[in-house]
Amino acid sequence: MPQIRFLSKADIGRLLDLGRTVDAVSEAFSAYQEGKCLIAPVVSMCMDNVRGELHVKAAYVESLSLISTKLIHAFYDNPRKYRLPTGMGLLVLADGLTGRPLAVMDSSMITFLRTGASGALGIRHLSREDSRIATLVGAGVNGRMQLRGLRLERPVEEIRVYDIDPKAAESCAAEMSAELGVPVRARAGLREAVLGADILITCTPSRSPFILRDWIKPGMHINAIGADGNGKQELEADVFIGAKIVVDHAGQCTSFGETSWPIKKGLLRAEDVYAEIGELTSGRKPGRISPEEVTIYDATGVAIQDLAAAGLALLTAESVGAGCLVEL
């Protein structure tokens, strides 16, 4: 009987590092531009009474001969009420030739790593190389991973952290200062945290915009990470006016991502989007071309990212014998 490999969150944490995941995700985005991937429409459901969300994402990558199907939940009261992680779920990886299941693994760590990798690519291709100051809004697990991705790409000298929970910002700042070896400081005020930053990362589940156009300086790059489902918004719609806009997936971002809001308000047309990130990773289009332009990377999360990270995890697990083998 066929066997499948089960990989826990701890297994994936040991098997994958962010640098290798960045490379794998970059290759997947490039493969998508070459027509070698299929991406299923995202299935999402919000359970507002319990502050919960469900997302299902699936993809096929021909060059890897793999199929992935990811189920991920986000329940925002879990840490406070139940001492559980906010995000939990599973990912199934299958053979792209036969459909045979190959692995079942925790999807939360895969999601953290592939989201951090996507953010790193946005910073690599769109931020100024001389960026000195970065600001993170949203001090959760995903925010921490965004800072790790930032440090892979830019040797910034100062990082500011803001969160609606001041204790969360202070905890994140202390932890990441020690880990990254760069001053990371919590800021009490949002406006104060954003003004003067060269790179701005927003990574929250907000359904009300909080970043204002007046705060954006020439040359700033924005990684908009949080708006991954209907109703979510972090940037005021007019922040997009005059900016160079890059998205991870045009269909998703113009339908329910950050980019959808200025389109709904008539401030932007779908064709005003400059590129998908795969056009930059594949070299089909340049990223930043001047130090003065404002750039925005709208990242809703694409299933090929999950597949790339999961495929790398399985390949590494097979090489070292990690995880548990289960007979179907």
Spans of the chain, pLDDT less than 70 = 1
| Cα angle value 265/298/145 (rounded, 5°) | 140
- pLDDT of 239 reads 98
**Exactly one of 9, 36, 57, 70 is catalytic; which is it?**
70
Which residues, 6+ apart, have CB-to-CB distance to 155 below 8 Å? Answer: none
Q: For every residue of 258-270, which 3-state class applies, written as one string?
A: CCHHHHHCCCCCH
Are 323 and 15 in contact, with CB atoms under 8 Å apart? no
Q: Give the predicted TM-score (pTM) of the model.
A: 0.95
Q: What DSSP string runs through 84-117?
A: --SEEEEEEEEETTT--EEEEEEHHHHHHHHHHH
Of 299, 236, 233, nearest in space to 267 by CA: 236
Per the annotation, the verdict on 167 as an active-site residue is no
Per-residue pLDDT reduced to its tens digit, 262-303:
999 999 999 999 999 999 999 999 999 999 999 999 999 999
Task: End-to-end CA distance of the chain: give it in Å, rounded.
Answer: 7
What amino acid occupies position 326? V
Domains identified in the chain and CATH numbers: 3-111+304-327 (3.30.1780.10), 125-301 (3.40.50.720)
The alpha helices in the chain, defined as continuous H runs, are 9-15, 18-33, 107-126, 141-153, 166-180, 190-194, 250-255, 260-264, 277-281, 303-320
- pLDDT of 2 reads 80
